Each structure stands twice: as C-alpha cells, then as structure tokens.
C-alpha cells in the first residue's frame, strides 16, 4: 500500500465505471464520439464542473438530467467532452494547395468552402486569409461556411478575439494585415471586420440526419475530428460529404486521418488531401 502522502486525493464526487459507460453511450449517441477506456479521468475532470455549476450531488443525477434534456444542458455536456486543439495555418501545406486551386475554381462563379469542425475559429479564418491573398483583395469571390458542434467554441470563433499567445506563430505581415488591437497592452487581438465578413458560423452536428447545407462546395475541411469517431461513423460522414462536393472539389482531413477505408469514394492526392472518384461528387452543379 502506498504511504498516505502518495495516495491520490479522494474524488469530490463518486464516479463509477457504470457512470463512465453511461457517458460513453450518451456522447456516442449525441455526437458520435467514441471514448476509450483510458479517457475516464478526462471525462471526470471535464464533467465535474457541470455538477458544481448545477449544485448536483452525484454523476447519476447529472446524467439523468442530460438523458432527459435535448436543449441547453445537452449542449453543455457535448461542449465539455469535445476537444478544441487548433491553430492558425495548422498543416500549412493544405493552405498552399488551397491557394493554388482558388483561382481555377473561381472562373465565372463564387467559391464556397465548408469548414466542418471550426472550433474557436483559427481554421476558417486561415482559409479566409488564404482567399484574400490568392485574389489580392478584401472582397474575393469566395465564402467560408464554418460550423462546429460546440456552441462555446462557436461563440469564441464569431467574436474573433485571440490572446497574443494564440497568434504568435503568424508572421508579422499577417498579424499587421488581419488583426487589430483589442486591448491597450496589445495582449488581445481581434480579426479585422473585412476578414470576418467572409466567414459565416452555424452549429452543425455531423451526426444529425440533416445538415443545413444544400449547395455544392469546392472544398470541405474536416480536420482532426474524424479521429474521435469509430470507423463506421467515419464512413457515414465521409459518404455524406460526396453529394456536397463539386467534381473537382477537395476534402482535407487531419494528419492522422487517412481515408484508407474509403478508397471506393475518394482518391488520395497525398498528405491528407482527397478528391472524389469520378462520378461520386455532386451530380448537380448549382450555385
């Protein structure tokens, strides 16, 4: 037995394996997220805040509330268990390829890109910056549709407000061009309105029966989210991207999210970029 000073502190709330199994079932049903056995401590640390906020005495009562609720607390539950690790121009080679394709896509029409896991906004704003740079204009013939299941992250993204620490990897020219000071000491920066106007935000649960998009996209960014789903759920989501992509469109996924189980749907262009196989993309070219 460990000496008393080396033993872990007792938990504030009892959290049984049955509670954990219930959390796993609920988050899989509500958001498609598959939690491994090793996530038990993470789940406790994130959900315990909700018990305190609601002044509940046990996880059982909290999960009863979540199970009965389809509104605010259901969203809070999902928000607590989603991960928002992101950065500006993460996986920079994706944006280099995007810049090359934008002018070709824009011949005679408007370019539309869906960022399907926008988190706190760094990714859709990076896409918007790439658009501005590709066309050397604050009003490129382009738009970004940004969505996420996490309503807290979406609110932050819409505000476009970032601590200096979050933008420090951007070069000085991009900082000067795309941000304005939001505090006297310069510790907070805000996205410029001209850039913000290129991005629209909405909540989309990728597991929902209907997605609020009914027009073809030139590209879909769904990066670093598929890894949280089981293989069957990944496949269902990827299949649903096809009718939304133009024939020459692209699907961008995260660095650990190869589509090896979807080679009948997409072909690899290298480095986690995929194109629809012939005849698999949007059959009606609209808008």
Choosing from 22, 46, 101, 235, the catalytic residue is: 46
Distance of CA 54 to the CA centre of its chain: 27
Contact 150, 84 (CB under 8 A): yes
Between strands 217-222 and 111-115, the pairing is parallel
**Whole-angstrom distance, CA of residue 24 vs CA of residue 66:** 13
Q: Which residue in 262, 274, 178, 183 sits closest to 220, CA to CA?
A: 274
- What does R_g of the chain's alpha carbons equal in angstroms? 21
- 96 catalytic per annotation: no
Contact 144, 128 (CB under 8 A): yes
**Whole-angstrom distance, CA of residue 143 vs CA of residue 211:** 18
Choosing from 19, 148, 150, 218, the catalytic residue is: 148
Contact 182, 190 (CB under 8 A): yes
DSSP tag of 228: G
- 155 catalytic per annotation: no
Tokens of 17: 């394996």
**SS3 call for 191:** strand
> How many Cα atoms sit within 13 Å of 223 on the Cβ side?
33
User: Would you please indicate which residues are annotated as catalytic (active-site) residues?
Assistant: 46, 148
């Amino acid at each position: 037995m460990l000496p008393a000073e080396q033993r872990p502190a007792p938990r504030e709330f009892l959290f049984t394996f049955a509670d954990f199994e219930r959390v796993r079932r609920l988050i899989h049903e509500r958001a498609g997220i598959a939690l491994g056995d090793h996530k038990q401590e993470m789940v406790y640390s994130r959900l315990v805040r909700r018990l305190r906020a609601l002044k509940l005495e046990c996880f059982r009562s909290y999960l009863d509330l979540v199970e009965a609720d389809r509104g605010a607390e259901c969203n809070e539950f999902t928000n607590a268990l989603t991960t928002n690790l992101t950065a500006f121009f993460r996986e920079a080679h994706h944006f280099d390829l995007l810049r090359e394709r934008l002018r070709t896509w824009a011949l005679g029409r408007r370019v539309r890109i869906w960022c399907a896991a926008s988190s706190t906004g760094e990714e859709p704003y990076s896409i918007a910056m790439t658009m501005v740079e590709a066309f050397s204009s604050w009003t490129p013939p382009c738009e970004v549709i940004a969505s996420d299941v996490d309503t807290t992250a979406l609110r932050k993204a819409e505000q476009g407000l970032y601590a200096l620490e979050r933008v420090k990897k951007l070069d000085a020219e991009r900082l000067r061009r795309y941000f304005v000071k939001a505090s006297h000491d310069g510790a907070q920066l805000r996205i410029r309105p001209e850039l913000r106007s290129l991005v629209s935000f909405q909540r989309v649960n990728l597991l929902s029966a209907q997605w609020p998009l009914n027009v073809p996209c030139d590209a879909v960014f769904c990066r670093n989210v598929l890894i949280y789903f089981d293989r069957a759920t990944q496949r269902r989501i990827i299949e649903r991207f096809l009718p939304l992509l133009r024939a020459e469109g692209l699907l961008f996924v995260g660095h650990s999210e190869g589509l090896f189980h979807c080679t009948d749907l997409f072909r690899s262009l290298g480095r986690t970029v995929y194109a629809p196989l012939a005849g698999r993309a949007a059959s009606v070219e609209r808008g």
